[in-house]
Amino acid sequence: MRHSTADRLLHYIRGQKAAMIDLLRHLVDAESPSSHPEAHRLVVSVLTSALNELGFRVRVLWTEKSHEHIYAVRTDRTRHQPAQLLLGHYDTVWPLGTVANRPFTVDGNVIRGPGSFDMKGGLTQIIFALKAIQELNLPLPMEPVVFFNSDEEIGSRTSTKYVRALAKSVGRAFVLEPAMGDEGSLKTARKGIGRFTIVVHGKAAHAGLDPEAGASAILELSHVIQALFALNDASKGITVNVGTIDGGLQPNVIAAYGQAVVDVRVTTAADGDRIEKAIHGIQPVTSGVRLQIEGGIGRPAMELTPRNNALWLQAAGLGRRLGLNLQHARAGGGSDGNTTSQYTATLDGLGPVGHGAHAEHEFLYLDKTLERTALLALLLAAPPSRGVSP
């Protein structure tokens, strides 16, 4: 690919700045909290219209919990050609009414608004990267497949099955989650995430009259909590955190019930398997109690595998053609990239550069977002990298 292609792309994308701002404004104004799927109709309409204008056939996939996910392919796609996945989510953590108090604003090079950085800016990049390829008549060695889900912020509970199926059928996946830090590092690794609930069933008794007749769930819970915290290993990036506890009835009653909810983060799939087995293997030490342990590693770790590394190196090389000195890093949080990485080459964090995901000061830098849009277009137009199977 000649350097002039990068120059043309960057020039074209910069010329689309006003149109990109306009689309992003519509997406932010169309509030879409994860917990209110009935409010998603407007944002689905905006995204569907944008994809239709690019010649994509859109299917809205309904789920049993009313969440709507967007799946789109080109109407004139080349049959039997390898595919590449463009992945993002349109749900946000912000409740309905947030945009009225914290509206979309453009202040020079800074754009603010709930969900602008995480990750409606990334969705805007996808639309305009595809538009640039179309308008500049660039080759597409792999067919683009678009998937936007509506429940990523709550763990992709209804959409993971679609993400997994798509990942198995494509040669590579580009995830438009926000970039990381001031440098805007791409995300080549993410921690795996697990959630566990441990319930202790004891036996109630009067704490003063007949304490020996009871079996304290709270006493046992204290032992369980210590066993859980003992699984932490900072040298391996393993964190096991008991985030909430509950239990007991009254101070004068031996507790018949106790519960702990646990968050687990791991850097490798192997560590995830080991910690999951260790948690499920915890045994009670208090006589007369019973443990009920549920949960597991819901999002396996995204690791810097050889195929992920090959895709990163390709992106770094293409970035240099745009004058970008790209960096990469591991993120502590998870995304749908954790899922796609199990099955295909994945590059995450291709979205906007900015700060404040899930925070009130959320913002993105417009100039850097334009550059990342050009980078995405270059990646889509590039042949599969060495080490990446089509």
Q: What is the average per-residue pLDDT within 178-199? A: 96
User: Is residue 14 very low, low, confident or very high in pLDDT (cuts 50, 70, 90)?
Assistant: very high
Q: What is the average per-residue pLDDT within 176-194? A: 96
Q: What is the pLDDT of residue 387?
A: 55
Q: What is the pLDDT of residue 136?
A: 97
Which numeric CATH code is attached to 192-299?
3.30.70.360
User: Is residue 79 very low, low, confident or very high in pLDDT (cuts 50, 70, 90)?
Assistant: confident
**Topology of domain 3-190+301-381, per CATH?**
Aminopeptidase (3.40.630)
| CA–CA gap between residue 145 and residue 291 (Å, rounded) | 45
| CA–CA gap between residue 315 and residue 184 (Å, rounded) | 13
Q: Residue 389 above 70 pLDDT?
A: no
Amino acid at 366: L
The token pair that represents 159 in the structure block: 């959409």
Which residue would you say has higher pLDDT here, 224 or 182?
224
Q: What is the average per-residue pLDDT within 172-179? A: 98
Q: State percent of the chain over pLDDT 70.
A: 98
| CA–CA gap between residue 193 and residue 366 (Å, rounded) | 31
Q: What is the pLDDT of residue 250?
A: 96
Q: What is the average per-residue pLDDT within 15-20? A: 98
Amino acid at 384: P
| CA–CA gap between residue 149 and residue 336 (Å, rounded) | 10
Q: Residue 390 above 50 pLDDT?
A: no
Q: What is the pLDDT of residue 66?
A: 86
- What does the domain layout of the chain look like in residue ranges? 3-190+301-381, 192-299
What is the separation, in whole angstroms, between the first and last Cα of the chain?
Answer: 19
| CB distance 390 to 142 below 8 Å | yes
| CB distance 163 to 149 below 8 Å | yes
State the chain's mean pLDDT as an integer. 95
For 297-333, what is each residue's pLDDT tens digit? 999 999 999 999 999 999 999 999 999 999 999 998 8
Fold: same for 3-190+301-381 and 192-299: no
Q: Residue 65 above 90 pLDDT?
A: no
